Structure 1
Amino acid sequence: MSYEVDTPVFAGPFDLLLHLILQDEVDLYQVSLGGIIEAYLAEIQRMEGVNLAVATEFLLIAATLIELKSRRLLPDTSDLDLEEELALWEERDLLLARLLECKTFKDASQALKALSNDASLSFPRIVGMEDQFLGLMPDLLEGVTPNAINQAYLRATAPKPQLDLFHVTPVKLTVAETVESLIEELPILGKTTLKHLTKSSADRVEVVIYFLAVLELYKQGVVDLTQIKTFGDLTISWLGFDEDADFANINTYEG
């Protein structure tokens, strides 16, 4: 239950007032926060007991409205330095996060209440099965014979047919060979692209091998890689051969 307010510019739930102010549908300057707080305190005095949930929600939203109003009464911040401006934006983000967290818990509590109401309408079965139904359990081995079990075993252990791969061309290019080729080619080119290096590749596997070889060169610090946009062409710049580079342990690509 939300606290109801009645002002010249708005009448309704208090949290809805905050939402409308954030959406600029209600002018914050025309809302008298002092009058709202005084009316709320008078309402608490008339109540026999204080609803902790409503009181907590009111205090949170009232504090938020006061902070919003004080922020809007400040002078223009266009002359603030970058750090002060970032600090203001950070406080604004924290404020919005606090409001979102409040709404999240409120929605979650309503959902849990609905589930609780639905659960209260159901009653679990607490008795066992009646005697007349105890013998009605199905026989899981009915119709299963030793011969059927034997046939199932033979099917499970039968060797699977081997796929004939005679038509698949084996990969002749390796990452290590491609690295050696690039070490000879890149110093001459200076700067090139992966697309240029793979323009004569026969299939995608060779393109992948070239890419792995370029990454190995980058790992050893002998090339620099640049990609202007996502999925764009990869520019490769030769930096010079490093005496500390170790290409001896490059794994050969086996396909």
Structure 2
Amino acid sequence: MSLNIKIENFEGPFDLLLHLIKKSKMDIYDIKIHEITKQYLGYIHTMEEMDLEITSEFIIIAATLIEIKSKMLLPKPKIEESAEDLDAQDPRKELVDKLLQYRKFKAAAKLLKDRELGLGRMFGKKPEIIEEKKKPQSHQELLKGVTMLSLYEIYNRLITVYRNKINTTNVINKEIPIDKFKIEDKMEYLRKNIETGVRIPFSSIAVKCSSKIEVVVTFLALLELMKLRYVTVIQERNFREIYVERVEEHEE
């Protein structure tokens, strides 16, 4: 039967002390010197038995622990002193201060080590030229430098082109189309599709029309329903969306 003995690798005597304090679940501000000294010396004896190199730092801390232990065993004078004076006379105070300082540096070293390891998993991005988007011109900028005379000349040119296009068209439509859409039918259609208390945009009605004439007839039917106070129409501003809403039955 083989005997396995595991010796942990500590960076120094303070690292070993912090390990023993944590393992024994002690308060670092109230170290049980007798128990910690016993564990610390036992660890050094184990290193000697395994022919491991013991540095002078471990021996110095061992001597410090023994000295503190001996001071703790001495009888204390019966003199009433404040709590601050008792803390200043505590032989463990200097050791505790060094342990706290070592723990802070150890935590900072671990943080920097983690940052170093994490840096290898970060990838940079090559710089690129970001083109600045031009802001759309306002109406004032678009009409800048345009006079009424120039607008009139543009209008005349467009009218001339349009008239020439009509004159060059030799095909004359001799058939008179039959009126497929009636205002009465569209009024009935709107009555069935407009609910009370629900606003619907007129564009959603017009998009279902198959031709321009059907849109015109639908709009005329809407005007008739407004005249009869069957529907109400709302438009915030000219050329904006027209909303249609059915009037409740009790309203006149």
TM-score (ref. length: structure 2): 0.34
Rg larger for: 2
TM-score by length of 1: 0.34
